[in-house]
Structure 1
Amino acid sequence: MKRILGAGLFYILISACSVHHNPKENPQVYLQNPGRETKKWKLVWEENFNSPKLDTTKWTRIPAGGADWNRHMSLDDACFGWEKGELILKGINNTDRKKDERPFLTGGIWSKGKFAFQYGRIEIRAKLGSAQGAWPAMWMLAELDKYGQYPRNGEIDIMEHLNFDDIIYQTTHSHYTLNLGQKDNPKHSGTAKVNAGSYNVYGISWYPDRIVFQLNGEDTFTYPRISGVDASQWPYDQPFYLLIDQQLGGSWVGKVDPKQLPVEMRVDWVKVYQ
Protein backbone atom coordinates (compact mmCIF):
# COMPACT_ATOMS: atom_id res chain seq x y z
CA MET A 1 0.00 0.00 0.00
CA LYS A 2 1.12 3.52 -0.74
CA ARG A 3 1.22 6.45 1.58
CA ILE A 4 2.06 10.10 1.14
CA LEU A 5 4.74 11.49 3.42
CA GLY A 6 3.43 14.79 4.75
CA ALA A 7 5.64 17.86 4.75
CA GLY A 8 5.84 18.04 8.54
CA LEU A 9 6.64 14.38 8.98
CA PHE A 10 9.18 14.56 6.16
CA TYR A 11 11.00 17.43 7.89
CA ILE A 12 11.09 15.59 11.21
CA LEU A 13 12.26 12.39 9.57
CA ILE A 14 15.17 13.86 7.64
CA SER A 15 16.22 16.01 10.59
CA ALA A 16 16.31 12.98 12.88
CA CYS A 17 18.38 11.02 10.36
CA SER A 18 21.18 13.60 10.30
CA VAL A 19 21.84 12.81 6.66
CA HIS A 20 20.22 15.67 4.78
CA HIS A 21 22.70 18.19 3.42
CA ASN A 22 21.19 21.35 2.02
CA PRO A 23 23.95 23.72 0.84
CA LYS A 24 22.76 27.01 -0.59
CA GLU A 25 24.39 26.38 -3.95
CA ASN A 26 22.98 22.85 -4.35
CA PRO A 27 19.81 22.47 -2.27
CA GLN A 28 18.75 19.40 -4.28
CA VAL A 29 21.67 17.29 -3.07
CA TYR A 30 21.44 14.78 -0.20
CA LEU A 31 24.83 13.81 1.20
CA GLN A 32 25.23 10.97 3.67
CA ASN A 33 27.31 11.82 6.74
CA PRO A 34 30.56 9.87 7.22
CA GLY A 35 30.00 6.63 9.13
CA ARG A 36 26.24 6.70 8.54
CA GLU A 37 26.50 3.61 6.31
CA THR A 38 27.12 1.44 9.38
CA LYS A 39 23.72 2.30 10.86
CA LYS A 40 20.14 1.41 10.00
CA TRP A 41 18.74 2.88 6.78
CA LYS A 42 16.37 5.85 7.16
CA LEU A 43 13.96 7.04 4.47
CA VAL A 44 15.01 10.48 3.22
CA TRP A 45 13.10 10.90 -0.07
CA GLU A 46 10.21 9.19 -1.81
CA GLU A 47 7.84 9.45 -4.75
CA ASN A 48 4.57 7.53 -4.90
CA PHE A 49 3.10 8.97 -8.14
CA ASN A 50 -0.29 9.43 -6.50
CA SER A 51 -0.95 12.68 -8.38
CA PRO A 52 -2.44 12.43 -11.90
CA LYS A 53 0.40 14.58 -13.19
CA LEU A 54 4.17 14.73 -12.83
CA ASP A 55 5.49 16.46 -9.71
CA THR A 56 7.75 19.04 -11.34
CA THR A 57 9.43 19.86 -8.04
CA LYS A 58 11.00 16.38 -8.25
CA TRP A 59 11.07 15.43 -11.93
CA THR A 60 11.47 16.70 -15.48
CA ARG A 61 10.46 14.90 -18.67
CA ILE A 62 13.60 13.84 -20.51
CA PRO A 63 14.12 15.70 -23.80
CA ALA A 64 15.34 14.15 -27.03
CA GLY A 65 19.04 13.72 -27.73
CA GLY A 66 21.43 12.12 -30.16
CA ALA A 67 22.34 8.92 -28.31
CA ASP A 68 20.64 5.55 -28.70
CA TRP A 69 18.97 5.84 -25.32
CA ASN A 70 17.36 9.27 -25.84
CA ARG A 71 16.96 9.34 -29.62
CA HIS A 72 13.18 8.88 -29.35
CA MET A 73 12.56 10.70 -26.06
CA SER A 74 9.56 13.00 -26.24
CA LEU A 75 7.73 15.50 -24.05
CA ASP A 76 4.44 14.48 -25.68
CA ASP A 77 1.65 13.57 -23.26
CA ALA A 78 1.02 10.42 -25.33
CA CYS A 79 4.23 8.97 -23.84
CA PHE A 80 3.08 9.39 -20.23
CA GLY A 81 0.19 8.17 -18.16
CA TRP A 82 -1.04 7.87 -14.58
CA GLU A 83 -3.29 5.11 -13.32
CA LYS A 84 -4.02 3.77 -9.85
CA GLY A 85 -1.08 5.57 -8.30
CA GLU A 86 1.41 4.53 -10.97
CA LEU A 87 3.43 6.44 -13.52
CA ILE A 88 3.26 4.85 -16.97
CA LEU A 89 6.16 5.49 -19.35
CA LYS A 90 5.38 4.46 -22.91
CA GLY A 91 7.14 3.59 -26.14
CA ILE A 92 4.77 4.24 -29.04
CA ASN A 93 4.53 4.52 -32.80
CA ASN A 94 4.54 8.15 -33.89
CA THR A 95 1.18 8.86 -35.53
CA ASP A 96 2.06 12.38 -36.69
CA ARG A 97 5.24 12.25 -38.76
CA LYS A 98 4.60 15.77 -40.11
CA LYS A 99 4.89 17.21 -36.62
CA ASP A 100 7.82 14.99 -35.65
CA GLU A 101 9.57 12.87 -38.27
CA ARG A 102 10.81 10.22 -35.85
CA PRO A 103 9.08 6.83 -36.23
CA PHE A 104 8.86 6.18 -32.49
CA LEU A 105 8.34 8.26 -29.36
CA THR A 106 9.29 7.34 -25.79
CA GLY A 107 8.71 8.72 -22.32
CA GLY A 108 11.19 9.18 -19.52
CA ILE A 109 11.80 11.28 -16.42
CA TRP A 110 14.90 12.43 -14.56
CA SER A 111 15.55 14.21 -11.27
CA LYS A 112 18.43 16.27 -12.67
CA GLY A 113 18.69 19.62 -10.88
CA LYS A 114 15.91 18.63 -8.46
CA PHE A 115 17.13 15.63 -6.48
CA ALA A 116 20.47 13.86 -6.21
CA PHE A 117 22.15 11.83 -3.50
CA GLN A 118 25.56 10.51 -2.54
CA TYR A 119 25.60 7.08 -0.88
CA GLY A 120 22.54 5.32 0.42
CA ARG A 121 19.97 2.91 -0.89
CA ILE A 122 17.46 3.37 -3.69
CA GLU A 123 14.53 1.08 -4.47
CA ILE A 124 12.12 1.34 -7.40
CA ARG A 125 9.03 -0.85 -7.68
CA ALA A 126 7.96 -1.33 -11.26
CA LYS A 127 6.55 -3.68 -13.88
CA LEU A 128 8.27 -3.86 -17.26
CA GLY A 129 6.72 -4.39 -20.63
CA SER A 130 8.39 -6.50 -23.33
CA ALA A 131 8.59 -6.02 -27.10
CA GLN A 132 11.19 -6.34 -29.80
CA GLY A 133 13.32 -3.22 -29.41
CA ALA A 134 12.04 -2.35 -25.93
CA TRP A 135 14.72 -1.12 -23.52
CA PRO A 136 13.34 0.09 -20.16
CA ALA A 137 16.01 1.42 -17.84
CA MET A 138 16.57 2.82 -14.36
CA TRP A 139 19.94 4.48 -13.95
CA MET A 140 21.99 7.31 -12.47
CA LEU A 141 24.34 10.06 -13.66
CA ALA A 142 26.49 12.58 -11.79
CA GLU A 143 24.78 15.79 -10.72
CA LEU A 144 27.73 18.14 -10.21
CA ASP A 145 30.29 17.18 -12.89
CA LYS A 146 33.22 16.58 -10.54
CA TYR A 147 35.59 14.89 -12.99
CA GLY A 148 34.71 16.21 -16.45
CA GLN A 149 32.80 15.09 -19.50
CA TYR A 150 31.11 11.70 -19.80
CA PRO A 151 32.17 9.02 -18.99
CA ARG A 152 34.60 10.48 -16.43
CA ASN A 153 31.84 11.06 -13.85
CA GLY A 154 30.58 7.51 -14.17
CA GLU A 155 27.18 5.92 -14.71
CA ILE A 156 25.26 3.49 -12.50
CA ASP A 157 22.73 1.30 -14.30
CA ILE A 158 20.36 0.00 -11.64
CA MET A 159 18.42 -2.03 -14.19
CA GLU A 160 18.24 -2.44 -17.96
CA HIS A 161 15.99 -4.92 -19.71
CA LEU A 162 16.10 -5.91 -23.39
CA ASN A 163 13.33 -7.24 -25.61
CA PHE A 164 11.81 -10.39 -24.05
CA ASP A 165 14.81 -11.36 -21.89
CA ASP A 166 14.34 -13.19 -18.61
CA ILE A 167 17.31 -11.32 -17.12
CA ILE A 168 18.18 -7.73 -16.27
CA TYR A 169 21.58 -6.09 -16.66
CA GLN A 170 23.14 -4.18 -13.77
CA THR A 171 26.24 -2.23 -14.71
CA THR A 172 28.73 0.53 -13.96
CA HIS A 173 30.31 2.62 -16.70
CA SER A 174 33.19 5.06 -16.37
CA HIS A 175 36.36 6.30 -18.07
CA TYR A 176 38.04 3.31 -16.44
CA THR A 177 35.66 0.74 -17.98
CA LEU A 178 34.90 2.42 -21.32
CA ASN A 179 38.03 4.34 -22.35
CA LEU A 180 40.64 2.28 -20.53
CA GLY A 181 38.78 -0.98 -21.21
CA GLN A 182 39.02 -2.24 -17.63
CA LYS A 183 35.79 -4.24 -17.48
CA ASP A 184 37.08 -7.21 -15.46
CA ASN A 185 39.36 -5.58 -12.88
CA PRO A 186 36.96 -5.58 -11.14
CA LYS A 187 34.03 -7.01 -13.10
CA HIS A 188 31.80 -4.06 -13.93
CA SER A 189 28.50 -5.77 -14.83
CA GLY A 190 26.20 -8.54 -13.70
CA THR A 191 22.83 -10.05 -14.57
CA ALA A 192 19.90 -11.31 -12.53
CA LYS A 193 16.96 -13.57 -13.42
CA VAL A 194 13.66 -11.74 -13.47
CA ASN A 195 10.02 -12.10 -14.42
CA ALA A 196 9.83 -8.70 -16.08
CA GLY A 197 6.05 -8.78 -16.48
CA SER A 198 5.55 -8.92 -12.71
CA TYR A 199 6.17 -6.17 -10.19
CA ASN A 200 9.74 -6.20 -8.92
CA VAL A 201 11.81 -3.93 -6.72
CA TYR A 202 15.02 -2.83 -8.42
CA GLY A 203 17.74 -1.14 -6.43
CA ILE A 204 21.26 -0.53 -5.21
CA SER A 205 22.93 -0.01 -1.87
CA TRP A 206 25.75 2.47 -2.44
CA TYR A 207 28.65 2.79 -0.02
CA PRO A 208 31.93 4.75 -0.11
CA ASP A 209 33.76 1.56 -1.11
CA ARG A 210 31.21 -0.45 -3.14
CA ILE A 211 27.93 -0.48 -5.04
CA VAL A 212 25.70 -3.46 -4.28
CA PHE A 213 23.06 -4.14 -6.93
CA GLN A 214 19.82 -5.73 -5.79
CA LEU A 215 16.59 -7.30 -6.99
CA ASN A 216 13.63 -7.68 -4.64
CA GLY A 217 15.90 -6.99 -1.69
CA GLU A 218 18.44 -9.67 -2.59
CA ASP A 219 22.04 -8.82 -3.49
CA THR A 220 22.81 -9.75 -7.10
CA PHE A 221 26.13 -8.09 -8.00
CA THR A 222 28.75 -5.91 -6.29
CA TYR A 223 31.11 -3.41 -7.86
CA PRO A 224 33.91 -2.64 -5.36
CA ARG A 225 36.35 0.22 -5.12
CA ILE A 226 39.84 -1.24 -5.46
CA SER A 227 43.36 0.06 -4.89
CA GLY A 228 46.39 0.01 -7.14
CA VAL A 229 44.54 1.01 -10.32
CA ASP A 230 43.79 4.23 -12.17
CA ALA A 231 41.86 6.69 -9.99
CA SER A 232 39.10 6.86 -12.60
CA GLN A 233 37.96 3.41 -11.41
CA TRP A 234 35.89 5.11 -8.70
CA PRO A 235 34.08 8.30 -9.75
CA TYR A 236 31.24 7.25 -7.42
CA ASP A 237 32.15 9.67 -4.63
CA GLN A 238 29.76 12.42 -5.69
CA PRO A 239 25.99 12.97 -5.90
CA PHE A 240 24.04 11.26 -8.67
CA TYR A 241 20.55 11.97 -10.02
CA LEU A 242 18.02 9.40 -11.20
CA LEU A 243 16.68 8.55 -14.65
CA ILE A 244 13.72 6.23 -15.35
CA ASP A 245 12.85 5.77 -19.01
CA GLN A 246 11.18 3.52 -21.54
CA GLN A 247 13.71 3.46 -24.35
CA LEU A 248 13.35 1.95 -27.83
CA GLY A 249 15.88 0.65 -30.32
CA GLY A 250 19.61 1.07 -30.72
CA SER A 251 22.73 -0.95 -31.40
CA TRP A 252 22.44 -2.99 -28.19
CA VAL A 253 18.73 -3.84 -28.06
CA GLY A 254 18.26 -4.07 -31.84
CA LYS A 255 15.56 -2.90 -34.23
CA VAL A 256 12.06 -2.03 -33.06
CA ASP A 257 9.07 -4.02 -34.29
CA PRO A 258 6.35 -1.37 -34.66
CA LYS A 259 3.66 -4.07 -34.65
CA GLN A 260 4.54 -4.84 -31.02
CA LEU A 261 3.99 -1.27 -29.83
CA PRO A 262 2.89 0.33 -27.63
CA VAL A 263 5.03 -0.98 -24.79
CA GLU A 264 5.09 0.47 -21.31
CA MET A 265 6.83 0.48 -17.96
CA ARG A 266 4.62 1.02 -14.92
CA VAL A 267 6.42 2.64 -11.97
CA ASP A 268 4.75 2.26 -8.57
CA TRP A 269 7.16 4.07 -6.28
CA VAL A 270 10.72 5.28 -5.68
CA LYS A 271 12.35 5.37 -2.25
CA VAL A 272 15.78 6.58 -1.18
CA TYR A 273 17.35 5.75 2.18
CA GLN A 274 20.55 6.91 3.87
Structure 2
Amino acid sequence: MKITNILISCFAASLLLSACSVSQKLSEKPYVIVQKEGREAKKWKLVWEDDFDGNEIDSTKWSRIPKGESDWNKHMSTLDDVFRLENGSLYLRGINNPDTTKDPRPFITGGIWSKNKFAFQYGRIEIRAKLGSAQGAWPAMWMLAELDKYGKYPLNGEIDIMEHLNYDTIIYQTTHSHYTLNLGQKDNPPHGGAATVNSNEYNVYGLSWYPDKIVFQLNGKDTFTYPRVDGVDKSQWPYDQPFFILIDQQLGGNWVGQVDQSQLPVEMEIDWVKVYQ
Protein backbone atom coordinates (compact mmCIF):
# COMPACT_ATOMS: atom_id res chain seq x y z
CA MET A 1 0.00 0.00 0.00
CA LYS A 2 2.68 2.68 -0.50
CA ILE A 3 2.13 5.56 1.94
CA THR A 4 2.07 8.72 -0.19
CA ASN A 5 2.63 12.42 0.43
CA ILE A 6 5.44 11.83 2.94
CA LEU A 7 8.85 13.43 2.37
CA ILE A 8 11.79 11.14 2.97
CA SER A 9 14.78 13.00 4.40
CA CYS A 10 17.15 10.17 5.29
CA PHE A 11 18.78 8.43 2.36
CA ALA A 12 22.45 7.93 3.26
CA ALA A 13 23.79 5.74 6.03
CA SER A 14 25.43 8.71 7.66
CA LEU A 15 22.11 10.50 7.86
CA LEU A 16 20.49 7.40 9.25
CA LEU A 17 22.83 7.55 12.21
CA SER A 18 22.45 11.25 12.89
CA ALA A 19 18.96 12.32 11.84
CA CYS A 20 16.97 9.09 11.99
CA SER A 21 17.85 7.62 15.35
CA VAL A 22 15.42 5.31 17.11
CA SER A 23 12.73 7.52 18.59
CA GLN A 24 11.47 5.08 21.20
CA LYS A 25 13.10 2.29 23.17
CA LEU A 26 11.77 -1.25 23.28
CA SER A 27 12.02 -1.17 27.07
CA GLU A 28 9.38 1.57 27.04
CA LYS A 29 6.96 -0.69 25.15
CA PRO A 30 5.76 -3.48 27.49
CA TYR A 31 3.01 -4.40 25.01
CA VAL A 32 5.57 -5.43 22.36
CA ILE A 33 6.09 -9.18 22.03
CA VAL A 34 9.43 -10.21 20.55
CA GLN A 35 9.79 -13.85 19.58
CA LYS A 36 12.69 -15.57 21.27
CA GLU A 37 15.54 -16.72 19.05
CA GLY A 38 14.98 -20.25 17.78
CA ARG A 39 11.28 -20.20 18.63
CA GLU A 40 10.32 -20.31 14.95
CA ALA A 41 11.41 -23.96 14.82
CA LYS A 42 8.84 -24.96 17.45
CA LYS A 43 5.05 -25.28 17.51
CA TRP A 44 3.14 -21.99 17.22
CA LYS A 45 1.55 -20.65 20.43
CA LEU A 46 -1.31 -18.15 20.52
CA VAL A 47 0.02 -14.96 22.17
CA TRP A 48 -2.65 -12.34 21.35
CA GLU A 49 -6.17 -12.28 19.92
CA ASP A 50 -9.42 -10.40 19.59
CA ASP A 51 -12.72 -12.04 18.64
CA PHE A 52 -14.80 -8.84 18.83
CA ASP A 53 -17.43 -10.39 21.09
CA GLY A 54 -17.93 -7.26 23.19
CA ASN A 55 -20.25 -4.32 22.71
CA GLU A 56 -17.40 -1.89 22.02
CA ILE A 57 -14.01 -1.98 20.34
CA ASP A 58 -11.48 -3.10 22.96
CA SER A 59 -9.56 0.10 23.65
CA THR A 60 -6.72 -1.83 25.32
CA LYS A 61 -5.99 -3.42 21.93
CA TRP A 62 -7.13 -0.96 19.26
CA SER A 63 -7.60 2.71 18.45
CA ARG A 64 -9.71 4.17 15.67
CA ILE A 65 -7.52 5.45 12.85
CA PRO A 66 -7.76 9.23 12.50
CA LYS A 67 -7.87 11.27 9.30
CA GLY A 68 -4.55 11.75 7.51
CA GLU A 69 -3.19 13.23 4.31
CA SER A 70 -2.32 10.11 2.30
CA ASP A 71 -4.50 8.22 -0.17
CA TRP A 72 -5.15 5.45 2.33
CA ASN A 73 -6.23 7.57 5.31
CA LYS A 74 -7.59 10.86 3.96
CA HIS A 75 -11.16 9.60 4.34
CA MET A 76 -10.67 7.92 7.72
CA SER A 77 -13.08 8.95 10.48
CA THR A 78 -13.48 8.15 14.16
CA LEU A 79 -17.27 8.62 14.06
CA ASP A 80 -19.45 5.75 15.27
CA ASP A 81 -21.17 5.71 11.85
CA VAL A 82 -18.23 3.84 10.28
CA PHE A 83 -17.94 1.18 13.01
CA ARG A 84 -20.35 -1.52 14.12
CA LEU A 85 -20.01 -4.48 16.47
CA GLU A 86 -22.63 -7.14 15.93
CA ASN A 87 -22.88 -10.91 16.50
CA GLY A 88 -19.21 -11.25 17.35
CA SER A 89 -17.91 -9.33 14.34
CA LEU A 90 -16.50 -5.86 13.76
CA TYR A 91 -17.79 -4.05 10.69
CA LEU A 92 -15.54 -1.36 9.21
CA ARG A 93 -17.65 0.76 6.89
CA GLY A 94 -17.24 3.13 3.96
CA ILE A 95 -20.27 5.42 3.77
CA ASN A 96 -21.52 8.62 2.23
CA ASN A 97 -20.82 11.39 4.72
CA PRO A 98 -24.01 11.93 6.77
CA ASP A 99 -23.11 15.55 7.62
CA THR A 100 -21.02 17.50 5.13
CA THR A 101 -21.72 20.77 6.97
CA LYS A 102 -19.30 19.71 9.72
CA ASP A 103 -16.96 17.72 7.47
CA PRO A 104 -16.86 18.51 3.72
CA ARG A 105 -15.54 15.12 2.68
CA PRO A 106 -18.09 13.33 0.45
CA PHE A 107 -17.52 9.94 2.08
CA ILE A 108 -15.85 8.61 5.22
CA THR A 109 -14.36 5.28 6.24
CA GLY A 110 -13.48 3.28 9.35
CA GLY A 111 -10.28 1.58 10.42
CA ILE A 112 -8.48 0.34 13.52
CA TRP A 113 -4.82 -0.01 14.45
CA SER A 114 -2.91 -1.48 17.39
CA LYS A 115 -0.32 1.31 17.39
CA ASN A 116 1.02 1.98 20.91
CA LYS A 117 -1.11 -0.92 22.22
CA PHE A 118 0.23 -4.11 20.63
CA ALA A 119 3.12 -4.93 18.32
CA PHE A 120 5.11 -8.08 17.62
CA GLN A 121 8.36 -9.18 16.01
CA TYR A 122 8.25 -12.50 14.15
CA GLY A 123 5.40 -14.98 14.35
CA ARG A 124 2.16 -15.66 12.52
CA ILE A 125 -0.85 -13.39 12.16
CA GLU A 126 -4.25 -14.55 10.88
CA ILE A 127 -7.34 -12.43 10.27
CA ARG A 128 -10.70 -14.04 9.41
CA ALA A 129 -12.82 -11.64 7.43
CA LYS A 130 -15.36 -11.12 4.69
CA LEU A 131 -14.62 -8.31 2.24
CA GLY A 132 -17.13 -5.92 0.73
CA SER A 133 -16.90 -4.88 -2.92
CA ALA A 134 -17.75 -1.57 -4.59
CA GLN A 135 -16.23 0.70 -7.19
CA GLY A 136 -13.47 2.51 -5.30
CA ALA A 137 -13.44 0.14 -2.32
CA TRP A 138 -9.99 -0.70 -0.95
CA PRO A 139 -10.11 -2.89 2.19
CA ALA A 140 -6.68 -3.60 3.62
CA MET A 141 -4.89 -5.49 6.39
CA TRP A 142 -1.29 -4.47 6.92
CA MET A 143 1.53 -3.67 9.34
CA LEU A 144 3.92 -0.80 10.07
CA ALA A 145 6.94 -0.48 12.36
CA GLU A 146 6.32 0.48 15.98
CA LEU A 147 9.71 2.01 16.82
CA ASP A 148 11.08 3.92 13.80
CA LYS A 149 14.27 1.91 14.09
CA TYR A 150 15.70 3.09 10.77
CA GLY A 151 13.95 6.43 10.37
CA LYS A 152 10.78 7.68 8.75
CA TYR A 153 8.71 5.90 6.12
CA PRO A 154 9.62 3.99 4.03
CA LEU A 155 12.91 3.22 5.81
CA ASN A 156 11.18 0.94 8.33
CA GLY A 157 9.23 -0.96 5.70
CA GLU A 158 5.60 -1.94 5.30
CA ILE A 159 3.98 -5.38 5.18
CA ASP A 160 0.66 -5.66 3.34
CA ILE A 161 -1.11 -8.84 4.45
CA MET A 162 -3.99 -8.22 2.09
CA GLU A 163 -5.33 -5.50 -0.19
CA HIS A 164 -8.44 -5.85 -2.36
CA LEU A 165 -9.58 -3.45 -5.09
CA ASN A 166 -13.10 -2.82 -6.38
CA TYR A 167 -14.67 -6.15 -7.48
CA ASP A 168 -11.39 -7.98 -8.12
CA THR A 169 -11.16 -11.75 -7.76
CA ILE A 170 -7.60 -11.44 -6.44
CA ILE A 171 -5.87 -9.92 -3.43
CA TYR A 172 -2.44 -8.30 -3.36
CA GLN A 173 0.19 -9.28 -0.78
CA THR A 174 3.19 -6.98 -0.79
CA THR A 175 6.22 -5.54 0.97
CA HIS A 176 7.36 -1.93 0.61
CA SER A 177 10.59 -0.33 1.82
CA HIS A 178 13.29 2.19 0.95
CA TYR A 179 14.81 -0.66 -1.09
CA THR A 180 11.67 -1.24 -3.20
CA LEU A 181 10.38 2.34 -3.40
CA ASN A 182 13.34 4.71 -3.43
CA LEU A 183 15.94 2.35 -4.88
CA GLY A 184 13.40 0.76 -7.25
CA GLN A 185 14.39 -2.80 -6.39
CA LYS A 186 10.99 -4.45 -6.83
CA ASP A 187 12.20 -7.61 -8.56
CA ASN A 188 15.39 -8.47 -6.67
CA PRO A 189 13.63 -10.29 -5.08
CA PRO A 190 10.00 -9.81 -6.22
CA HIS A 191 8.34 -7.75 -3.53
CA GLY A 192 4.73 -8.89 -3.94
CA GLY A 193 2.29 -11.40 -5.29
CA ALA A 194 -1.42 -11.99 -5.88
CA ALA A 195 -3.80 -14.75 -4.84
CA THR A 196 -7.24 -15.70 -6.14
CA VAL A 197 -10.05 -15.11 -3.66
CA ASN A 198 -13.83 -15.18 -3.38
CA SER A 199 -14.34 -11.92 -1.51
CA ASN A 200 -18.01 -12.70 -0.82
CA GLU A 201 -17.01 -15.48 1.54
CA TYR A 202 -15.09 -15.60 4.81
CA ASN A 203 -11.37 -16.08 4.27
CA VAL A 204 -8.39 -16.22 6.58
CA TYR A 205 -5.70 -13.74 5.52
CA GLY A 206 -2.30 -14.09 7.11
CA LEU A 207 1.42 -14.46 7.03
CA SER A 208 4.24 -16.20 8.86
CA TRP A 209 7.16 -13.90 9.62
CA TYR A 210 10.65 -15.26 10.24
CA PRO A 211 14.07 -13.62 10.71
CA ASP A 212 14.92 -14.50 7.09
CA LYS A 213 11.60 -14.46 5.21
CA ILE A 214 7.94 -13.41 5.20
CA VAL A 215 5.53 -16.08 3.95
CA PHE A 216 2.12 -14.74 2.92
CA GLN A 217 -0.88 -17.02 3.23
CA LEU A 218 -4.54 -17.36 2.32
CA ASN A 219 -6.74 -19.86 4.16
CA GLY A 220 -3.66 -21.52 5.63
CA LYS A 221 -1.92 -22.05 2.28
CA ASP A 222 1.33 -20.31 1.33
CA THR A 223 0.86 -17.86 -1.56
CA PHE A 224 4.01 -15.74 -1.78
CA THR A 225 7.38 -15.51 0.00
CA TYR A 226 9.58 -12.46 0.41
CA PRO A 227 13.09 -13.56 1.49
CA ARG A 228 15.93 -11.72 3.14
CA VAL A 229 18.69 -11.46 0.54
CA ASP A 230 22.44 -11.28 1.08
CA GLY A 231 24.68 -9.03 -0.96
CA VAL A 232 22.20 -6.22 -1.58
CA ASP A 233 21.52 -2.88 0.10
CA LYS A 234 20.77 -3.33 3.79
CA SER A 235 17.47 -1.48 3.42
CA GLN A 236 16.11 -4.60 1.70
CA TRP A 237 15.30 -6.08 5.11
CA PRO A 238 13.94 -3.60 7.67
CA TYR A 239 11.74 -6.42 8.99
CA ASP A 240 13.85 -7.11 12.09
CA GLN A 241 11.78 -4.98 14.46
CA PRO A 242 8.27 -4.97 15.98
CA PHE A 243 5.30 -4.05 13.78
CA PHE A 244 1.75 -3.04 14.72
CA ILE A 245 -1.47 -4.05 12.93
CA LEU A 246 -3.80 -1.94 10.77
CA ILE A 247 -7.19 -3.07 9.42
CA ASP A 248 -9.17 -0.52 7.43
CA GLN A 249 -11.93 -0.11 4.88
CA GLN A 250 -10.43 2.45 2.55
CA LEU A 251 -12.08 4.30 -0.32
CA GLY A 252 -10.62 5.95 -3.39
CA GLY A 253 -7.10 6.93 -4.36
CA ASN A 254 -4.73 6.75 -7.31
CA TRP A 255 -4.46 2.97 -7.22
CA VAL A 256 -8.09 1.89 -6.73
CA GLY A 257 -9.64 4.73 -8.73
CA GLN A 258 -12.74 6.85 -8.35
CA VAL A 259 -15.49 5.99 -5.86
CA ASP A 260 -19.03 5.34 -7.10
CA GLN A 261 -20.99 6.81 -4.21
CA SER A 262 -24.20 5.14 -5.39
CA GLN A 263 -22.60 1.81 -4.40
CA LEU A 264 -22.05 2.89 -0.78
CA PRO A 265 -22.17 1.80 1.96
CA VAL A 266 -19.55 -0.89 1.68
CA GLU A 267 -18.08 -2.74 4.65
CA MET A 268 -15.48 -5.27 5.70
CA GLU A 269 -16.53 -7.77 8.38
CA ILE A 270 -13.77 -8.87 10.78
CA ASP A 271 -14.50 -12.08 12.69
CA TRP A 272 -11.24 -12.39 14.62
CA VAL A 273 -7.52 -11.58 14.71
CA LYS A 274 -4.94 -13.99 16.11
CA VAL A 275 -1.18 -13.71 16.55
CA TYR A 276 1.05 -16.73 17.22
CA GLN A 277 4.73 -17.12 18.07
TM-score by length of 1: 0.91
Equivalenced residue count is 252
Question: Is 1:96 the counterpart of 2:99 in the alignment?
Answer: yes
**Separation (CA, whole Å) in 1 of partners of 2:99 and 2:121:** 41
Secondary structure of 1:213 counterpart:
strand
Query: Aligned to 2:189, what secondary structure does the other structure show?
Result: coil
CA distance in 2, matches of 1:33, 1:50: 31
Matches within 5 A, 1:1-274: 24-274=27-277
1:152 is displaced (CA, Å) by 0.2
CA distance in 1, matches of 2:265, 2:28: 41
Say which SS state the counterpart of residue 176 (structure 1) adopts: helix
1:156-198 alpha-carbon deviations (Å, 9 max, x no partner): 0000000000000000000000000000000001000000110
* TM-score between the two structures when normalised by the length of structure 2: 0.90
Structure 1, 199-208 or 92-101: larger mean CA deviation = 92-101
Q: Offset of 1:95 from its aligned partner?
A: 2.0
Structure 2 unmatched ranges of 5 or more: 1-25
Report deviation, 1:24: 4.6
Give 1:129's aligned amino acid.
G
Specify the SS of the correspondent of 1:149.
coil
Cα deviation, residue 28, structure 1 = 1.2
Identity of aligned residues (%): 75
Deviating 4+ runs (over 3 angstroms):
none
> What per-residue deviation string (whole Å, max 9, x for no partner) do you get for residues 204-223 of structure 1?
00000000000000000000
**Superposition CA RMSD, Å:** 0.6
> What SS is found at the alignment partner of 2:28?
coil
Partners of 2:118 and 2:29 lie apart in 1 by 10
Once the two structures are superposed, what CA deviation does each residue of 1:12-46 show, in whole Å capped at 9, x if it has no partner?
A: xxxxxxxxxxx651111000000000001000000
CA–CA distance in 2 between the matches of 1:270 and 1:203? 10
CA 1:24–1:151 in 2, change beyond 3 Å: closer, same or farther?
A: closer
Deviations 1:229-262 (A, max 9, x none): 0000000000000000000000000000000000
Q: Distance in 2 between matches of 1:194 and 1:24?
A: 40
Tell me how far apart the structure 1 counterparts of residues 66 and 128 of structure 2 sit (CA, whole Å): 24
1:97-145 CA distances to partner (integer Å, 9 max, x unpaired)? 1010000100000000000000000000000000000000000000011
